[in-house]
Amino acid sequence: MQRQEKIRTRGLNLFYGEHHALKDIDLNVRTHSITALIGPSGCGKSTFLRTLNRMNDLIDGVRIIGEVSIDDENIYQPNVDVVALRKKVGMVFQRPNPFPMSVYDNIAYGPRIHGLKDRRKLDEIVEKSLKGAALWEEVKDRLHKPALGLSGGQQQRLCIARLLAVEPEILLMDEPTSALDPISTLKIEELVQELKREYTIVIVTHNMQQAARISDFTAYFLNGEVVEYDTTDVIFTNPRDQRTEDYITGRFG
Bridge partners, 46 (sequence order): none
88 CB contacts (<8 Å, ≥6 apart)?
70, 168, 169, 170
Stretch that binds ligand ATP, among 44-52, 97-105, 191-199, 237-245 (CB under 6 A): 44-52
* 3-class DSSP state of 66: strand
43 belongs to the binding site for ligand ATP (CB under 6 A): yes
Handedness of CA 135, 137, 143, 145 (dihedral sign): negative
Which is closer to ligand ATP, CB of 154 or CB of 218? 218
Applying CB under 6 A, among 41, 58, 137, 183 the residue interacting with ligand ATP is 41
Phi, psi of 66 (to 5 degrees): 105, -165
Give just the sign of the alpha carbon dihedral 96, 171, 47, 64: negative
Which residue lies nearer to ligand ATP by CB, 32 or 206? 206
User: Of 39 and 110, which has the nearer Cβ to ligand ATP?
Assistant: 39
> CB 7 → ligand ATP: shortest distance, Å?
17
Distance CA 56, CA 3 (A): 27
- Which of these segments, 40-48, 109-117, 212-220, 234-242, binds ligand ATP (CB under 6 A)? 40-48
Q: Which residues bind ligand ATP (CB under 6 A)?
A: 16, 19, 21, 39, 41-47, 59
